[in-house]
Amino acid sequence: MLKKLFQSFRSPLRRFPHPRRTPEILSSRQHALRRNEISRHAVSVVERLQQAGYEAYVVGGCVRDLLLELTPKDYDVATSATPEQVRAEFRNARVIGRRFKLVHVHFGREIIEVATFRANHPEEDDDDTSHQASRNESGRILRDNVYGTLEDDAQRRDFTINALYYDPSSERIHDHTHGMQDIRNRQIRLIGNPEQRYQEDPVRMLRAVRFAAKLDFDIERHSADPIPELADLLDGIPSARLFDETLKLFLGGKAERTFELLLEYDLFAPLFPASAEALEEDPDYAGTLIRNALANTDLRIAQGKPVTPAFLFAALLWPALPARVAEVQARGLPPIPAMQEAAHDLIWEQCQRTAIPKRFTMPMREIWDMQERLPRRQGRRADQLLENPRFRAGYDFLLLRESAGEQTDGLGEWWTEYQEANDSERRSMIRELSNKDQPGGAPRKRRRSGGRRKRGAGEGSSAASE
């Protein structure tokens, strides 16, 4: 008795159930989505579940994107069947997840994700239901395996535009939350009480920004107002999940617009605290460098070229690095060791927020390290740098710094000419360096000549595709 009383005080947000609405069912004449536009594997999953006596629909972002004449990247199915019942219907399926139990049905390289209809959590947590649903003290959902009806599931989804259920058998759309209206009005609207829904899962704030940027929608006022005040809730999200969400934010082809929205809603600082501080101290330089990097990323994606998180994170974090290098150098370390120590510390701090895998942090450090090496061009150093696998990424990063207004005494132009010059022209360019001081140059030191064969700079991979 006392336990339930204390729980009612601890979790007041659970007292507000989602309002029930009469669903709007749109026939094929009332919408533009057609069965033949849906993945045939998604259709087959739905039909097989329906033939087994379960409710099943294609749902979520794929329905939204097709209505907006966009190409879905994947297909989701929602059903009344439990994960175990779905697994029993498909030999090519497996149950995954603990926080949210799902079923992946495999068709070669395509995976159809099948989720059981979810329901609201019970008003009190007790030992009997803790394996199905649980929250932490701030209201964030830790486990969500309470099953319900189609109506329940619609109210449990995040945004109205993601709560559209398409039945390929009848070609009807079931709309429980006025999602079709919001698509027509081009707005992102959270289902239910916005403050409660963000507390249940703070990542929804990032999703709101991502969808607004991707679809060129506005975030509806009541859904937008709580975001700046609740942005700090992202501190409680696991760093691995935030890394995945950051990739979705910046590798979807709308990175520059996403960055502006993150700043507008105070969501950039929880993701990149050191960079946000540098941006506040020097908004012109830091802002220009980050925006130029993101614009280039969007351009490469639009052109179908590969991109890598390593170069992207190197650019997002760079504005915070030079001041740290200067601090380390003030303790007496030479430039390159100072760069390496400062880079190590900065990346370690960032990984506490977004768990960047080592396969990306290593090339990030190499790109930064190259910024100290590129000014050192005398003797055979220039040719050795050209042979470095990270030369192209480091060179592109140098041009990015210059595009933000950083003064390098023409270093980017020199390296551009050096790559295009023949051997005799390169030797002449190196001799000219001895007639003037090199920015950041190291003391001259004879080195043994190596026997490695010279490789053209054009063989280096693009900075964004390392």
Res 22: pLDDT: 78
**Angle at CA of residue 436, ends 435 and 437, nearest 5°:** 140
Q: Which of 129-138, 275-284, 425-434 has the highest mean pLDDT?
A: 275-284
Instruction: For residues 241 and 114, give the distance between their C-alpha atoms in angstroms, rounded to a whole number.
Output: 21
Instruction: For residues 428 and 9, give the distance between their C-alpha atoms in angstroms, rounded to a whole number.
Output: 79
Q: Is the pLDDT score of 126 beyond 60?
A: no
- Choose the catalytic residue: 125, 144, 158, 383: 158
Q: Are the C-beta atoms of 155 and 191 separated by less than 8 Å?
A: yes
- What are 134-139's contacts with CB under 8 Å, separation 24+? 135/11, 135/200, 136/236, 137/10, 138/199, 138/233, 138/236, 139/11, 139/13, 139/196, 139/199, 139/200
Using DSSP, state whether 310 is helix, strand or coil.
helix
Instruction: For residues 45 and 90, give the distance between their C-alpha atoms in angstroms, rounded to a whole number.
Output: 9
Token duo for residue 200:
């249940």
Q: Is 167 one of the catalytic residues?
A: no
- φ, ψ for residue 148, nearest 5 deg: -155, -150
Give the residue with greater pLDDT, 9 vs 306. Answer: 306
Segment 131-143 shows an average pLDDT of 49
Segment 117-134 shows an average pLDDT of 58
Q: At what angle do helices 203-215 and 255-264 cross, to 10 degrees?
A: 130
**Alpha-carbon 389 to chain mean position:** 27
User: How many residues does the structure list for the chain?
Assistant: 466
Q: Is the pLDDT score of 384 beyond 70?
A: yes
Res 144: pLDDT: 55
352 burial level (CB within 10 Å; 0-12, 13-18, 19+): exposed
Q: Is the pLDDT score of 458 beyond 90?
A: no
Beta carbons within 10 angstroms of residue 212's beta carbon: 24
Res 452: pLDDT: 38
pLDDT band at 436 (very low <50, low <70, confident <90, very high): low
Token duo for residue 186:
């081009």
Query: Is the pTM of the predicted complex or chain greater than 0.75?
Result: yes
Q: Is 74 one of the catalytic residues?
A: yes
Res 121: pLDDT: 57
Q: β-strands 164-167, 141-144: how paired? A: unpaired
pLDDT band at 122 (very low <50, low <70, confident <90, very high): low
pLDDT band at 19 (very low <50, low <70, confident <90, very high): low
Give the residue with greater pLDDT, 361 vs 454. Answer: 361
Res 16: pLDDT: 43
pLDDT in tens, 223-280: 999 999 999 999 999 999 999 999 999 999 999 999 999 999 999 999 999 999 999 9
User: CB-based contacts of 22: which residues, under 8 Å, 6+ apart?
Assistant: none
Question: Mean pLDDT across the chain, nearest whole number?
Answer: 87
Q: Is the pLDDT score of 139 beyond 60?
A: no
Q: Is the pLDDT score of 464 beyond 60?
A: no
Instruction: For residues 269 and 262, give the distance between their C-alpha atoms in angstroms, rounded to a whole number.
Output: 9
pLDDT in tens, 166-203: 999 999 999 999 999 999 999 999 999 999 999 999 99
Token duo for residue 409:
């005494």
Res 123: pLDDT: 53
Q: Is 125 one of the catalytic residues?
A: no
Q: Is the pLDDT score of 134 beyond 60?
A: no
